[in-house]
Amino acid sequence: MFGQTTLWAVMGVLVVGASFAQQVPHYSQYLQNHFLINPAVAGIESYADARVGYRQQWGGLEDAPRTFYLTAHLPLGNPDFTIEPASPRYRFTRERYSSQPDAHAGMGLTVVRDQTGPWTRFSLGVSGAYHYPINEEWQVSAGLTAGLSQHTLDFDQLRLANPQDPLVSSGRLSVIRPDLNAGVWVYSTDFFGGFSVNQLWPSTLSFKNSSSNWQGKVVPHFFLTAGYRLPLVEDWDFTPSILLKKAPSAPLSWDLNLKISYSSDWWFGASYRQLESFTAFFGAKVAQQLRVNYTYEYPISSLQVATRGSHEITLGVTLGSRSHYTSSRTFW
């Protein structure tokens, strides 16, 4: 009851208060799928990578955010998936290649449905990226995602103190806006770093009918991330990383991530999201081309008394030759 009352109180303020800044969804598994927040990752490997995920935020809290997403990307110019990967990699035997790879392009697709109570955001974007070798070790890429996002507010789901309020009869109102994301990515076998902007195209959301005039804003969100893979003992790696996040009129926030992986078979780790949560995650290769990841996020904010935490799970498939290289995201 606490969570439900709090959530609807917030929504009430948004409806009658005229304006707010639309936020992008939270993800816990961006460390295993950087393409979620940076289009420059599209086509980074020598094979196609497809992932489907679901996030239940603040479990036990009625009408809490729920996010479904699908990402897919692949390199261009190699229909048989025989090109070398975009940076020097280790094979499954961990033999290292020293030749400089060729520059190549990549493309991808992102589908996201994010719902919080009566508010739903659905977005569809197509990505393009170009990967260029600086030398035998270092690579740089730049990418862009262009698409559309539909924002829907269902006034029939609002529980108002006054049932006779004209907002009750407003029904579902939707607006469609262009969506644009951009990013750069610098990486080697052991290092990754990137900067990206989501919702690069700011716009106003206006929901109007005879009884209401509600305003919202789509604002840019900035992400800066970096990490480094440190070999421990044979087949074991340790990868610390950090993610900085910033949006207009919001303070800078950060995530600290620690990941341990064994070969390309399984990996686990923990994260700390500033003043919000602690996270534990685990992933495994359950078949030659199939991987699964699970994340549990324990809140440490004021929501702690109203929720059992957040859950996120993804399934990933790689398509290409069975002799393809181990994913950089496993090494990173």
* Per-residue confidence (pLDDT) for residue 209, from 0 to 100: 66
* Per-residue confidence (pLDDT) for residue 321, from 0 to 100: 60
Question: Which residues sit opposite 242 in a β-bridge?
Answer: 226, 256
Domain encompassing residue 177: 2-331
* Per-residue confidence (pLDDT) for residue 10, from 0 to 100: 43
- The count of structural domains within the chain is 1
CATH of the domain at 119: 2.40.160.40
How deeply is 18 buried, as exposed, middle or buried, from its count of CB atoms within 10 A (0-12, 13-18, 19+)? exposed
Q: How would you write the pLDDT of the chain (332 residues) with one tens digit per residue?
A: 334 444 443 444 344 333 445 578 989 999 889 999 999 999 988 788 999 999 999 887 888 899 999 999 998 876 555 545 444 444 434 445 556 677 889 999 999 999 988 889 999 999 999 999 898 888 999 999 999 999 998 877 766 666 666 655 567 888 999 999 999 999 988 899 999 999 998 888 887 765 666 778 889 999 999 999 999 988 899 999 999 999 988 899 999 999 999 987 899 999 999 999 999 999 999 987 899 999 999 999 887 778 889 999 999 998 876 555 444 444 45
- Torsion angle of C-alpha atoms 155, 21, 143, 243, degrees rounded to 10: -120
* Per-residue confidence (pLDDT) for residue 315, from 0 to 100: 96
* Per-residue confidence (pLDDT) for residue 89, from 0 to 100: 44
* Per-residue confidence (pLDDT) for residue 154, from 0 to 100: 84
Question: Which residues sit opposite 88 in a β-bridge?
Answer: none
Rounded to an integer, what distance in angstroms lies between the CA atom of residue 167 and that of residue 214? 10
- What are the structure tokens assigned to 39, written together? 């289009």
* Per-residue confidence (pLDDT) for residue 168, from 0 to 100: 55
Token pair 């495994």: residue: 284
**CB contact at 8 A, 130 and 142:** yes
**CB contact at 8 A, 39 and 127:** yes
Rounded to an integer, what distance in angstroms lies between the CA atom of residue 64 and that of residue 150? 19
